[in-house]
Amino acid sequence: MNNFRDLKVWHKGIDLAVSVYKVAAELPASERFNLVSQMQRAAVSIPSNIAEGCGRHSDPAFDSFLSISLGSAYELETQAIISQRLGFITEPIFNNLQNQIVEVQKMTYGLLNRSNKAA
């Protein structure tokens, strides 16, 4: 597999994780071990699993890690929606985060589809 640093989706995943950490820093302290922790772990999982999949030497393993990454993106999206509905993040911040998440989801899904077709 290619070097993960060459994948645009990995870079977008890193950008998303940084955005999540910045947003999470503004959430209430009472959520530090709950929503904040969950969001940060899900966000870090996205590019981490892409990178780990690239380190495997088989297409099925790469596909598996891409699937885990995609699942983490959907998990993060759910946590962002909950945060917005609870009033922890404003609509503009939520929309920006949502746009980043959806972009990473689409890119990951596209990469997974290309990988499956190549197999």
The alpha carbon torsion through 14, 103, 108, 101 (nearest 10 deg) reads 60
Q: Which residues contact 7 (CB under 8 A, 6 or more apart)?
A: 50, 54, 111
Q: Name the token pair of 45.
A: 């999982």
**63 within 8 A of 112, measured Cβ to Cβ:** yes
Tens place of pLDDT per residue across the chain (119 aa): 568 999 999 999 999 999 999 999 999 999 999 999 999 999 999 999 999 999 988 889 999 999 999 999 999 999 999 999 999 999 999 999 999 999 999 999 999 988 777 65
CATH at 20: 1.20.1440.60
> What is the chain's Cα-based Rg?
15
* pLDDT for the residue numbered 90: 96
Domain tally, the chain: 1
Any idea how long the chain is? 119
Burial of 24 (0-12, 13-18, 19+ CB in 10 A): buried
pTM of the model: 0.94
The predicted structure's pLDDT at residue 1: 56
d(CA 24, CA 72): 16
**Domain residue limits at 65:** 4-118
Determine the pLDDT at residue 36.
96
| Residue pointed to by tokens 């885990």 | 68
